[in-house]
Amino acid sequence: MGKTITEKIMAAHCGQDSVRPGMLINAGLDIIMCHDVTTPAAISMLAERGLDQVFDPEKIVVTPDHFQPAKDIKSAQLHKRLDDWCKRHNIRYYYPLGRAGVCHALLPEQGHIRPGEIIVGGDSHTCTYGAFGAFSTGIGSTDSAAAIATGELWFRVPGSIKFVLNGRLARGVYSKDVIIAIITRIGTDGARYKAMEFCGGALKDMSMEARMTITNMAIEAGGKNGIMAVDEVTRAYLDEHLRDNKGYTVYTSDDDAEYEQVEEFDCAALEPMVALPHLPGNGKPVSEVAGMAMDQSYIGSCTNGRIEDLRIAAAILKGNKVSIRTIVVPATPRIWKQAMDEKLMDIFYDAGCVISAPTCGACLGGFMGILAEGEKCVSTTNRNFVGRMGHPQSEVYLASPATAAASAVEGKLTDPRKYLH
């Protein structure tokens, strides 16, 4: 029986000729992503056990992002501990304030992600990097401590579900709409501890930024990881961004690989989607919910804060004024600078938006756009749980940057296609 991409990568990292779903393995790690929320706890665990060590200071990538710039004394203390730890261990790839950004946008942009590798991070949306043909998954602080000290972790090999994305997306429909539609179909536990493998003609037309939006939200269906095969789009991105010439290993699923299920989607039939409170799988076509009043629009996050997302939003906001609070958050300093160079910042300013420094911000209820009781926000983030962005009685509606921008103009959920000519 053939093997999937995920199974091949895991086998290569545990010294086995092959692995099968359900096996427990101990695998070597290529990259560990660390940020300001979960890493300080991992540092403390190691110090308490006399294990203040790192397995390889060049395989750990660190950035504050959730509460940066520091929003209060507690977050400032977290940043200080991260800074001191990086200096003490000579962590080579540390991105401090001024170069810090949302981790899942920063690592690919800075060339730290390679196909065929195993990448872990103390953040649930670490599954983003699977867009590059890598096995990438989120871990907690305890596993982060073990990974930092040893460079290894145990895993249970996940079974795989194949998602075949057929057709071509219509104008005004984006990868965010695709992943909301997928989670709506299978449910928020429909891929629990499974590898979500994406393929198909619709995927081939998507940029790497669009693909990362899909793998980013694999965890919202319960997935252990999201993964896509390497193609010419992947290679072009890597040629532009990789830090060195070390090369990489490309794995592909065999034609006779075994999948636990196969889900096919006609992407050409999709329309813009909105995930209603309080689950990412509570998706509805925008035509069914248009007209619902909003109090805020939030455009940013590790899901949709990249330059492509800002361009999409700016195309709708250009020449228009927002009628509700609208917050735009470029995911990294490079994206912020590129948006400024492309005059997107002028469009956002003229439209009446607030433009933030790169940060996770309000996505997790941190700062830069917290919601009051009873308020509703259309957001390009990835989660709309109760209290996710503020008061427990506020509501978050997940959507694409286009839908968020169109809704900002009209102050209510709006089909973005009416603004695209």
What's the whole-model pTM score?
0.95
DSSP letters of 305-371? -SHHHHHHHHHHHTT---SSEEEE--SSHHHHHHHHHTTHHHHHHHHT-EEPPSS-GGGGT-SSSPB
Q: What does the pLDDT read at residue 185? A: 97
pLDDT of residue 290: 96
In tens, the pLDDT along 212-231 reads 999 999 999 999 999 999 99
Query: What domains are defined for the chain?
Result: 5-265 (3.30.499.10), 273-419 (3.30.499.10)
167-223 tens-digit pLDDT:
999 999 999 999 999 999 999 999 999 999 999 999 999 999 999 999 999 999 999
Q: Which residues contact 193 (CB under 8 A, 6 or more apart)?
A: 156, 158, 222, 223, 224
Residue 244 confidence (pLDDT)? 81
For 45-59, the pLDDT digits (tens) are 999 999 999 999 999
- What is the band of 66 on the pLDDT scale with cuts at 50, 70, 90? very high
Alpha-carbon gap, residue 290 to 351, rounded angstroms: 22
Q: Can you give the length of the chain in residues? A: 421
Mean pLDDT over each residue of the chain, to the nearest integer: 96
**Residue 64: pLDDT band with limits 50, 70, 90:** very high
Residues 87-96 pLDDT 10s: 999 999 999 9
Question: Across residues 104-124, what is the average pLDDT?
Answer: 97
pLDDT at 245 over 90: no
- pLDDT over 80 (residue 421): no
| Cα–Cα nearest to 304, from 325, 281, 330, 283 | 330
Tell me what pLDDT residue 1 has.
Answer: 81
Please say if the pLDDT value at position 99 is more than 90. Answer: yes
In the predicted structure, residue 420 carries a pLDDT above the cut 90 = no
What number of other Cβ atoms are within 10 A of residue 41's Cβ?
A: 16
Confidence (pLDDT) at 243: 82
